[in-house]
Amino acid sequence: MEFYLKASLKTSADPAAGKEDIEKIMAEAENTILSKGAPAGEGAKIKSWSLGEKSIDIELTSGRYVRVHDAIMRLKKALAEPLGKAHKIGIRGLEAEVFTISVPADHDLKNKKIPYVKSVDFNDGTLLLTLDVGEAEMRNQVPDRILTLVEDKMEQGDYGAKAEHWNLLWESEDREFRYSEDPTEDMLKQGWLKRGAGRGQWIHGPVTTRLFRVFEQIVVDEILAPLGYDEMIFPKMVMWDIWKHSGHAKGIYPEMYYVCPPKTRDPEYWEDVMDYYKVTHEVPVEMLKEKIGDPIGGMCYAQCPPSWGFFQGETIANESLPITIFDRSGTSHRYESGGIHGIERVDEFHRIELVWLGTQEQVVETTKQLQDRYMHIFNDILDLKWRKAWVTPWFMAQEGIAGVAADEVTGTTDYEAPLPYRGPEGEWLEFQNVSINGEKYPNGFNVKSQSGEKLWSGCSGVGLERWTAVFLAQHGLDPENWPAEVQKRFGKMPKQVKFL
């Protein structure tokens, strides 16, 4: 890896008057300021330098350590003091004429548009990035982030079309299913639900709503109450700042529903829109685009990140750990990729989100307790055919990162169940997960413990649509064929609305 920078430090006067001081600093720089913090011989190098009429022109090269954009800032600072004090010459700014990064690579990044990169050339196993950056970008470490982004993209390219990491941990015994219909189509025929006006949205009638409440109460009785989880209400409109701290801002853009406020509440500003509708009975979408502000965030996408605003910047007392909380206060929204189908792939869905926070030992133990409770529910209450697997951590997948976490503890366990109507070799649906997120969120939101011990966290989302889809796909719509505990909790079939 090699960095190259050809730049000019712009001066307020001819720098020739300070040539002797400049020569001294340049002669010593490679052994002092340009090598500080780097292994021996790994600092930045001055390839050439010269004086212009009102500039100091410098060529720098470097490897991974003391990169050229850091090196030029160090030189600027070192030169500014003697030139200013002794010669009354100020350094007005910095202009980069040429800035390139050479990176070893196995393949090209074809058709990839990278911020602040003018061109990408691939030749003989090397990517040559030509950057378009100024002093502000160099000072803010933009070249470093460009390099990280390129490395991420190359890693994704190495994975190509491979599926995410998946390692089977446990699977229940095979069984025969007495029901083989698509439960969503069956529910539609029986009037249990109807499609909503929005994409991937359903209106649930009394029957499916009752089933949702049964599953919700099972979670309360079998998990939340025994394990001591306390209920909270997390925001469902999520601002950019939360997603920046959580890491989601790296990759959620194709899947989120955006929130844009009106530019003003002044009725006169909106009069033409209202008048247009009154005349045409059509909502003037194009007019609306001009009257709404920039996106301030989006609808709840992953339920746990907004909870961290409660803890952000705080130091938590030892006696409060571990913290175990949950939220069931509203819907989540995600623009599903590919074709949406039935109640299992929707854009608006209902979840109970569990979040826990503590020391590493506390988080690992809390996770184990939760996994044991899930196994009890799926085996003894819902009587499902299911399996669980160790997969790419959900937070890595949502940030566009392939593979597995660096340690053997942090990660996600997916719970999957077969859908019989898809056939004997058909689809397994992920209907539950449990994640240990390590230090990611405490670090991202600057949350500390009184003892100074590193904090970890975990989360688990109970998707009521997914539980319902799996349960009905395996047991059918006739309550008499449901497991006894579910029948007992469900009770008498609710009265349905009849349409003429």
Report, as residue numbers or ranges, the catalytic residues: 304, 334, 336, 345, 353, 414, 430, 433, 459, 466
Main-chain phi, psi angles of 271, to 5 degrees = -60, -40
For every residue of 391-411, DSSP letters joined together read ES-HHHHHTT--S--SSSSSE
The answer for 62, left when phi > 0, alpha when psi is -120 to 50, beta otherwise, is beta
Q: How far is CA 159 from CA 105, 154, 164, 393, in A?
A: 14, 9, 9, 16
Scanning 30-141, the segments in alpha helix (DSSP H) are: 68-87, 135-139
Token reading at 179:
């029901």
Max intra-chain CA distance, the chain: 97
Position of tokens 């330098």?
49
Main-chain phi, psi angles of 334, to 5 degrees = -150, 130
Q: Distance between CA atoms of 360 and 382, rounded to whole angstroms? A: 31
Residues near 32 by Cβ (< 8 Å), separated by ≥ 6? none
Token reading at 334:
């995600």
Residues near 142 by Cβ (< 8 Å), separated by ≥ 6? 116, 133
HSE-up of residue 202 (Cα within 13 Å, Cβ side): 24
Q: Distance between CA atoms of 355 and 326, rounded to whole angstroms? A: 6
